[in-house]
Structure 1
Amino acid sequence: MGKIKKKFSEGSSRTYTTRNRALRKLQVSLADFRRLCILKGIYPVEPRSQKKANRGSSKPTTFYYAKDIQLLLSEPLIAKFREHKIFLRKLQRALGKDDLTRAKGLEARRPEYTLDHLVIERYPAFVDALRDLDDALCMVFLFATMPTVSKVNNEIVEDCKRLSTEFMHYVIHSHSLRKVFLSIKGIYYQAEIQGQSITWIVPYQFSQNVPLDVDFKVMATFLQFYRTLLGFVNYRLYTTSNLSYPPKVDQSMDDSAAGLGSLRIEAKRVEDLIKGVQSSDTTSVPEVTMSKQMKQRMDTLGSKIKKIVAADTTTPAYESVGSGEADGDVDDETRQSGNLLFGKQVFFLSREVPRYSLEFVVRAFGGRLGWDQTSGGGSPYAENDRAITVQISDRPVQGHQFLDRIYVQPQWVYDSINARRLLDVEDYLIGQPLPAHLSPFVEYEEGDYVPEAASKLAAAAGFEGEVTNLKPEDRDQSEDEDEDAEEAADIDGASADEDAPDSDEEDEEDEDAIAEKQHQKQLLAERAGVSFSEYQQKQGAKPKPKAVAGKKRTKAEVEEEERQKIAISMLSKKKRKVVNRTQADAYKKAKDVNTLKTRKAQATAKPVKSAKGKKN
């Protein structure tokens, strides 16, 4: 006789655990458990059988992996949370007794904790942190534009502004911005950093009303971890680019609303690098035991670093906009590359355009710019400067114009970035109706609806693909049979007896589907106010959509059609369903494309002028 196993000792009941059991095991409150799960990156899971995972109970509940809960037992943050609760009780007791001296002493000894170990634990490699940076940037940029209210602390908002500005400065310095899209929700940006595509959204800088139905406690917990993560990422990006971190803030420029120009990004000096290497080596290896060869290498390190810095001409020298020398040392060949699209342009921003976005994208692509004094201080170019080549304005009428520059609307900048070339300015002149602002994140496939503007951009860029041919016409019988042949060619011919064990289930599914269709037809007949037999007769009298007259097919095409039909009939029932489902999806896709074409034709059609009647 085998050993009797204890109930619920293996299987799903041991792999998963409920939230209530996790709270009893960790001896924490529900709020602290949520904070721990958010900070540690532990999320609820859905077991295959909830009844087995819940030890025979069918009551709906939240499940977690038992190993994740076991991992939380050794988390030092639990002790920090308990210390903070004890501190709050002592502080409340002191304030209740009006003991202000004790309350001040407790406030000075407030327990604090950091999340540095969690960042290292969750992201052992720097590439992992870059892959997971999208949500962090969205959250930080959101709180950077939030107003200071009771639910949002002023220190948190200022820290988010600092972190977001530092990241934008690195994107400008590395010229890693790739795509920009203006949507209703905000402005989408995509940058490519160390081979990783990072996409985030920045809200428009409008006055915001803080909603009352948002749980800011949960968002604050996420933001606490994201701020720590972004601080680590910014430090690593700056140090690998030989930039000093944190960047210095020019307080006078910041007070005058200089924006990105208030930060001073400086490269590390060669002397500082040598001192850092020497200090690290002397602390680890005594000077007495240092060999002569090591001393010689240290003596020549300064000259080698100077040679490397002098030879590195691909990375332009970076300074603040306020100095007016942001890209002055960059050669013309580097400016003509894709990352320096505006390398030869000097922009001037009128006061009505979004300066916070245009300054970022223009400088990220190597351009220089100035702005109106009412938009903020620190502008290196005045409006009457002769070096300005392009002025961005969003007013249909200009009070005065300079003949040596081009006046365009802001969309020209964003569309040129997405097209990776300077577009023709005729469609973007002041007062002209703007073309469609297409999303650069959409990739068109064969059969998709391609807007006319996308086809024009692809043709202007010299694309020799099938963009202009991605316009499926009306579906006729020959096209249906061609698609059937393509689908059937990719599927191995198998007999219908291969899936015999599943035939009963498939028959039940077919019967259910037929019954559902019959019920729908009866409802339609009842809605039309006729009997079901009359409704069927009317439906049968209607011409089928596939009976569209087309060109006469050749004998070879007819034989190929028959051969493909025979090949499909030899497939198993399950594989025939796959082929039919694929054909139905293709038909629905073509139908949607044709619907969009019809709507476009109706929208662009000129209205017919009706004849005016004579008055009696």
Structure 2
Amino acid sequence: AVKKAKREARDSSENNFIPRARAVKFLQISPGEFRKLCILKGIFPRMPPRQYAGLQSYYFKKDITQLARDPVTATLRQLHTYKKKHQKFTYLKDKHSLKFLELSKPDYDLQRLVAERYPTPDAAIADVDDCLCLLSLFAQFSSEHSQLSEKCATLMNQFLVYVAATQSLRKCFISTKGFYFQAIINNQLVTWSEPHRFNLQIPQEVEMEVLKTFVEFYLEMLKAIMVYLYQQIQLQFPLQITDFQQSVHEIQQHLKQFNFKQTALQQTVFKNQIYKLNREVPQQLSFLVLCGGAQLGDNCTHLLTDRKVQKPPGVDVVQPQFCFDSFNLGVLLPVYEYEPEQQLPPHLSPFQFDFTQDQQKDEIGYIPERLTQLVNYYKQFVLQVKPEVVVMAEEAYKKERELLGVQVQLPDNDKEAESSAEEVKTNFDYEPKIKKDLEMDPELRMQKGMLSGRKRKVYEKLVEKEDELKTLRKQLMQKRRENRKEAVEK
């Protein structure tokens, strides 16, 4: 009966899952091309109930059979032969053949891949966070990847212009890793980060070819999203952006015909103000200031700087943190706390705290003193001076919560994976054994994976015997203690 159950479990694993090496051989492509194909098609490794081919990655057989019929697989094979011919003609210095070969270079359709993975625009917007983070990172790369970084920078500018013009930004935060932003786009929460602008040195451990494949797909994905968003406001994509502020104002003038209403405090926090950025201040602040309803210019009301400068008459000189804290609270904070060469107050994260409610603790149970100050200031200034603004903001907040409560379900194979895994588990369950292997030391697991099947079975039996001996010793020691206690009591 045990042999039959083991055979059923092995058969069910082999029928539903296929190891990576066998999948590469079946598709007749190289391992690098297989990895690229999986990234473009959104196929991920799965955990089978029994690792019948050793410790390696497994995939659904159904996914691999679909890849075999996919036109992208055929295109990757053609690209492989194209590269070989290109190397050959380059070595022979045959310019005439190279010219004709480059004209017939095969290419795959990324628009079709985006449409397959995200059938609706809402599904794409719900999964755009990683896309924005990676594109903003590549937009700051050096001349080694100049063409790719230019594409990423122009597309990110188009996205930031849309967010600033529609004033969709709701939260912002500065950290050592960079700037974090959160916006509401098409009733979906979108969170992304932008790194600080330094000379980035790429570590040798990072595989740039893998990241380039992701960027290649994400560029087409963000283009499709931006076309949809610009069509909603009856504008043609892409916009010709010469000046960031001018493009934002042009879109805002265009949005007036749609009765575009301001429903959040963050949209009017910098209204009727003009800001000027000193040269050492990060350029992300121009995006933040425009999202708050302000303008950029020389005849300014606020000068943003990180160092001590001579104060012009009638101008408030503040540090950049003033804009972030004021925007998150929805109210302009006192200027004297943010003057140059002044010790700045703690910068609290809006992703962790709500500045309109009392008695909020962090993970340790500590209530920051700065949080109580911000809550008190919000109550004193906003509730007393601008009660109508609070009512409007609360109504908008409720609407946003209702809209954001409806989450978009991404078209993924996770449900199919769970259902098929459950069907396999009904035959025979080896999950605890797999968990035990995963909890093992990585070096021991690698050594165990290098053993043959026969030697691995012998090793597992020895380990089981050692475990049994340990449990027996513990039981005997416990019995001895109990006997001693009984003897002492008598």
Taking structure 1 as the reference length, what is the TM-score of the superposition?
0.57
Deviations 1:490-528 (A, max 9, x none): xxxxxxxxxxxxxxxxxx9xx99xx8xx9xxxxxxxxxx
Q: CA deviation at 1:335?
A: 9.7
Partners of 2:170 and 2:266 within 8 A in 1 = no
Partners of 2:165 and 2:248 within 8 A in 1 = no
Separation in structure 1 between the aligned mates of residue 91 and residue 305 of structure 2, nearest angstrom? 60
Partners of 1:144 and 1:157 within 8 A in 2 = yes
Instruction: Output the amino acid matched with 2:129.
Output: D
1:358 aligns with 2:285: yes
Partners of 2:9 and 2:50 within 8 A in 1 = no
Q: CA deviation at 1:164?
A: 0.6
Which of residues 255, 260, 273 in structure 2 aligns to 1:345?
273
Which of residues 114, 118, 121 in structure 1 aligns to 2:116?
121
Q: CA deviation at 1:194?
A: 1.5
Residue in structure 2 matched with residue 532 of structure 1 by the alignment: none
Tell me which stretches of 4 or more aligned residues in structure 1 moved more than 4 Å. 4-10, 261-270, 334-337, 443-447
Q: Aligned to 1:181, what secondary structure does the other structure show?
A: strand
Q: Which moved more, 1:116-125 or 1:437-446?
A: 437-446
Residue in structure 2 matched with residue 327 of structure 1 by the alignment: none
Deviations 1:552-594 (A, max 9, x none): xxxxxxxxxxxxxxxxxxxxxxxxxxxxxxxxxxxxxxxxxxx
Consecutive unaligned residues in structure 2, runs of 5 or more? 354-359, 381-466, 478-490
Structure number with bigger Rg: 1
Separation in structure 2 between the aligned mates of residue 182 and residue 419 of structure 1, nearest angstrom? 15
Q: Aligned to 1:90, what secondary structure does the other structure show?
A: helix
Q: CA deviation at 1:221?
A: 0.8
Separation in structure 1 between the aligned mates of residue 58 and residue 137 of structure 2, nearest angstrom? 31
Q: Aligned to 1:43, what secondary structure does the other structure show?
A: coil
Deviations 1:340-379 (A, max 9, x none): 221121111222222x111000001111012xxxxxxxxx
Change (3 A) 1:266 1:362: closer
Partners of 1:175 and 1:340 within 8 A in 2 = no
Q: CA deviation at 1:262?
A: 7.9
Instruction: Output the amino acid matched with 2:92.
Output: K
Residue in structure 1 matched with residue 178 of structure 2 by the alignment: 186
Instruction: Output the amino acid matched with 1:93.
Output: K
Partners of 1:391 and 1:406 within 8 A in 2 = yes
Change (3 A) 1:201 1:210: same
Separation in structure 1 between the aligned mates of residue 139 and residue 246 of structure 2, nearest angstrom? 16
Instruction: Output the amino acid matched with 1:22.
Output: A
Residue in structure 2 matched with residue 460 of structure 1 by the alignment: 377
Partners of 1:242 and 1:267 within 8 A in 2 = no
Residue in structure 2 matched with residue 419 of structure 1 by the alignment: 329
Partners of 2:275 and 2:301 within 8 A in 1 = yes
Residue in structure 1 matched with residue 50 of structure 2 by the alignment: 49
Which of residues 186, 191, 209 in structure 2 aligns to 1:199?
191
Number of residue equivalences: 374
Separation in structure 2 between the aligned mates of residue 38 and residue 335 of structure 1, nearest angstrom? 39
Separation in structure 2 between the aligned mates of residue 106 and residue 112 of structure 1, nearest angstrom? 13
Partners of 2:303 and 2:315 within 8 A in 1 = yes
**CA RMSD, 1 decimal:** 2.9
Deviations 1:189-228 (A, max 9, x none): 1111112111111111112223222110111111111111
Q: CA deviation at 1:7?
A: 6.7
Q: CA deviation at 1:264?
A: 7.9
Change (3 A) 1:190 1:62: same
Consecutive unaligned residues in structure 1, runs of 5 or more? 251-257, 271-308, 316-333, 371-381, 464-507, 519-616
Partners of 2:165 and 2:251 within 8 A in 1 = no
Instruction: Output the amino acid matched with 2:304.
Output: I
1:230 aligns with 2:222: yes
Residue in structure 2 matched with residue 429 of structure 1 by the alignment: 339
Matches for 1:381-530 after TM superposition, within 5 Å: 382=298, 385=299, 388-396=300-308, 398-399=309-310, 401-443=311-353, 444-445=360-361, 448-462=365-379
Which of residues 84, 98, 102 in structure 1 aligns to 2:97?
102
Q: CA deviation at 1:104?
A: 1.4
Separation in structure 2 between the aligned mates of residue 238 and residue 430 of structure 1, nearest angstrom? 40
Partners of 1:39 and 1:221 within 8 A in 2 = yes
Residue in structure 2 matched with residue 26 of structure 1 by the alignment: 27
RCO higher in 1 or 2 (8 Å CA, sep ≥ 6)? Answer: 2
Change (3 A) 1:265 1:38: farther
Separation in structure 1 between the aligned mates of residue 160 and residue 34 of structure 2, nearest angstrom? 34
Q: Which moved more, 1:404-413 or 1:92-101?
A: 92-101
Separation in structure 1 between the aligned mates of residue 324 and residue 9 of structure 2, nearest angstrom? 60
Matches for 1:576-587 after TM superposition, within 5 Å: none
Q: Aligned to 2:143, what secondary structure does the other structure show?
A: coil
Separation in structure 1 between the aligned mates of residue 81 and residue 179 of structure 2, nearest angstrom? 45
1:138 aligns with 2:133: yes
Q: CA deviation at 1:13?
A: 2.6
Residue in structure 2 matched with residue 70 of structure 1 by the alignment: 65
Separation in structure 2 between the aligned mates of residue 341 and residue 86 of structure 1, nearest angstrom? 59
